[in-house]
Structure 1
């Protein structure tokens, strides 16, 4: 639970790069939907815009690059000694207005409107504790670039000049907004307008990964990803409700539109260890357009954060491995994050997953899993409050590789009956997760929940290496049998990918060794590695399925 006056409204798919290079759609003041439809416009005989209210709504809007967004801040003044009024509603009744930091002078066009204002506003003078908030619109004071809340504690009247002078002090939204609702996004329910604006978070980005080389102890590998990245966008909406500075409701919703991700890793691996090693590394942050409401009302700084991780082991051998996975999300999926409970409600987020072939270019015993992670992070600050929230998509692909040998052929369905082979048990899938924390407390999340997880074990495969039984490789010179080379694993340089590391040579079996009596069983080879340079590469048979 979130209790007390905590700092709580920032949303992080971490904001450093966004602050430096990201752009923000700055929403501009708009009239209320009622006023825009002509039902509450100031007329010569209508002075209701001068009434002091207990509730007032302020709207902002904007569009850029074909995307539109709306913001709605509704302020409540529930106390008997407080009220609020928007100058935008009665400004057409004024001849002029002048402001300082401590006063505001309003010159009315005629005596009737002046007398109406005098009768209503003298309420603030009848008790010492009474105040009302007068919100000046953009430019109404001449020097104010944005809407400016002004706390009025006293009013002076000049009947001869039809002038009202209010005294008090210029303030800010954070100070005057103690009880309010804030709604920001592209949903038409924001203002119930005829138009249907749409604000979305751009998710069209390539994975920022060139070839990476990693050395961890006795592990060396390179890693890259061809045509990897994300597509689509997320519709976004944010809601905040506060009573007397205490949060009563904080929520965010996301829904995908055409969201998909491709992950096609290639790995060059050279290692000899029996334990497991894992790591995750950030690849980069891509700032995307956010939203701001000037005057400290709202700052939304989204970005897409890419990272990749691996889990390896045990591994014996040197080989190149490639695979791939594609995922897609349904447009009907909906996600609602409640940050006051906290809780997550998700529907329709089970992704579609499609596989790409697993290939290996040399004999290797290994367990490999690679993952990419694309996180939509929102850094959102409203009226001085903050949270950090991230929603991530994590496709992964991997396999277990077991070296096998048989004089009858390591792979039963291999027509060439290669003596050595690698059995491959592939798997792939995707995880979708939500995390949230209060601003500045990222290490202690208030929410961490999986919204979908799909793992697809795939049919096993077997890839053959080396010459068939009883048929020595004619390209190899005959050698005396060696106990070391006859129990090694074979690496095919003919089919090795450019990423495969070659810092330590892979052993090759001696094809001149007389084959044993043909048997149908499969045995795991010894893990002893030869450090001598391999002989001419044997042929490689790919893609044969295990029986």
Structure 2
């Protein structure tokens, strides 16, 4: 019944005391040491009782009872004789689901009730076991009974689902006002975390974490408003929030806590004209991606399958504009770990992606709009090290995609268009090509800024009456409305 090595299942406990899974531990004893898990003979037992100094086992039959008497009789033969029993039972150990090692140094038998009274001393795990392998994963493989697996069916996934959408900043740069909002900034899904610890004679020799995405999607949509021509480049980066994700504890061997930090970066340069621009992208990571991080030597880490896929979000602008914008969201998952009293940190930073857009407005006698060139860069980085010390980085995945090109129409506000000076003006109601009424505001110089339709029939751009010669006078057949001049939209426009 006693062994030199033993396979154990240890409850993995969340901070609220509930089990999140099972850790598999294989313990190897030194010469003269013996260990047994109560799980290995639980089917023989009727019930179990524990207190601080005694573990009482009631066997189902006399045969089972006599088997234990024979196996353990050597314990009472010498005061120095003892063995370690690992008890996994309600009321034994710390917490409802605790797994507790005891040092058994004497036994009293009750043959009438098929009971053994074990003289027991509670041990910490670090006192009880000195050489072991510890794994926490949902994929145990063979050798785990269906009863144990059925008891613990929670996932090991850390949830990363959060909505970070908010106004980011509004800042005056000289006479220019820049306002940026996260109109749709979210993360969805989670990260499945597995842990392996290898200890030999009390020394930590192996410590690895495996992380894989689970239905992970990161979406970033920004709206940037710039209320004049910007002469100098401008950049901004900030941590938007930090979210506690929770963690777990495995006896007094391992503790894990986790946080998700969310960063946004934005820059703009060579910007001409007032405009509000909305752009972004959605990135997905494959569930087959794996990061095997060696916390003792990051150079031994392995990464595979981390190439993301993208779904561009529609780009829109309120006026014809030229310039360059760069934006990125950066979810950063940090794991805070303590094993055998030693603190570690491991991080996964996902810049998903860095989107660079170059906008170049154009106008002709048939169409007005913006040519857009978009470039995507992705940087995924792992970081590890001791807690409180600068972490060492190791790239997981880096890539830049060739630029994509598109042409977009322009979507002005139909009720109020802000002129280049940043001051809204009252306007006049005029019919558009579809017979609906639109507000035609005055610009800062007394002329009219006129929404027209582009070649595919969408609202395209605001034109200023003073510059009608640039676009052809055929666009400007005036009609009267409320005593003011309105443009007449020609059939060939749209």
TM-score if structure 2 supplies the norm length?
A: 0.69
1:183 matches 2:135: yes
1:226 matches 2:226: no
- Report the CA distance shift for 1:377/1:124 in structure 2 as closer, same or farther (over 3 A): farther
1:138 matches 2:84: no
- Structure 2 matches for 1:223-372, cutoff 5 A? 223-270=180-227, 274-288=231-245, 290-293=247-250, 295-315=251-271, 317-343=273-299, 344-362=301-319, 364-372=321-329
Partner of 1:166: 119
Instruction: Please give the alpha-carbon distance, in whole angstroms, between the structure 2 residues aligned to 1:143 and 1:333.
Output: 36
1:57 matches 2:57: no
Partner of 2:73: 119
Count of matched residue positions in the alignment of Structure 1 and Structure 2:
422
Instruction: Please give the alpha-carbon distance, in whole angstroms, between the structure 2 residues aligned to 1:493 and 1:159.
Output: 89
Once the two structures are TM-superposed, the CA of residue 234 in structure 1 deviates from its matched residue by: 3.4
Q: Name stretches of at least 5 consecutive residues in structure 2 with no aligned partner.
A: 425-442, 457-494
Instruction: Please give the alpha-carbon distance, in whole angstroms, between the structure 1 residues aligned to 2:376 and 2:140.
Output: 39
Instruction: Please give the alpha-carbon distance, in whole angstroms, between the structure 1 residues aligned to 2:20 and 2:118.
Output: 39
Instruction: Please give the alpha-carbon distance, in whole angstroms, between the structure 2 residues aligned to 1:86 and 1:428.
Output: 55
Instruction: Please give the alpha-carbon distance, in whole angstroms, between the structure 2 residues aligned to 1:378 and 1:70.
Output: 19
CA contact (8 A) 2:5 2:26 kept: no
Q: Alpha-carbon deviations, 1:440-495, whole Å to 9, x = none?
A: 33xx1133323243434122658799xxxxxxxxxxxxxxxxxxxxxxxxxx7769
1:387 matches 2:337: no
Once the two structures are TM-superposed, the CA of residue 370 in structure 1 deviates from its matched residue by: 1.0
Q: Alpha-carbon deviations, 1:327-348, whole Å to 9, x = none?
A: 2233333332222221432222
Partner of 1:448: 394
- Structure 2 matches for 1:413-428, cutoff 5 A? 414-416=364-366, 424-428=372-376
Choose which of 57, 72, 77 in structure 1 pairs with 2:24. 72
Partner of 1:537: 449
**Secondary structure, aligned partner of 1:125:** coil
Instruction: Please give the alpha-carbon distance, in whole angstroms, between the structure 1 residues aligned to 2:367 and 2:41.
Output: 91
- Report the CA distance shift for 1:459/1:389 in structure 2 as closer, same or farther (over 3 A): same
Once the two structures are TM-superposed, the CA of residue 369 in structure 1 deviates from its matched residue by: 0.6
Choose which of 148, 157, 165 in structure 2 pairs with 1:209. 165
Q: Choose between structure 1 and 2 for higher RCO, CA contacts under 8 A separated by at least 6 residues.
A: 1
CA contact (8 A) 1:417 1:464 kept: no
Partner of 2:354: 396
Partner of 1:374: 331
Instruction: Please give the alpha-carbon distance, in whole angstroms, between the structure 2 residues aligned to 1:211 and 1:96.
Output: 59
1:435 matches 2:383: yes
**Secondary structure, aligned partner of 2:79:** helix
TM-score if structure 1 supplies the norm length?
A: 0.63
Instruction: Please give the alpha-carbon distance, in whole angstroms, between the structure 2 residues aligned to 1:501 and 1:431.
Output: 39
Instruction: Please give the alpha-carbon distance, in whole angstroms, between the structure 2 residues aligned to 1:385 and 1:415.
Output: 71
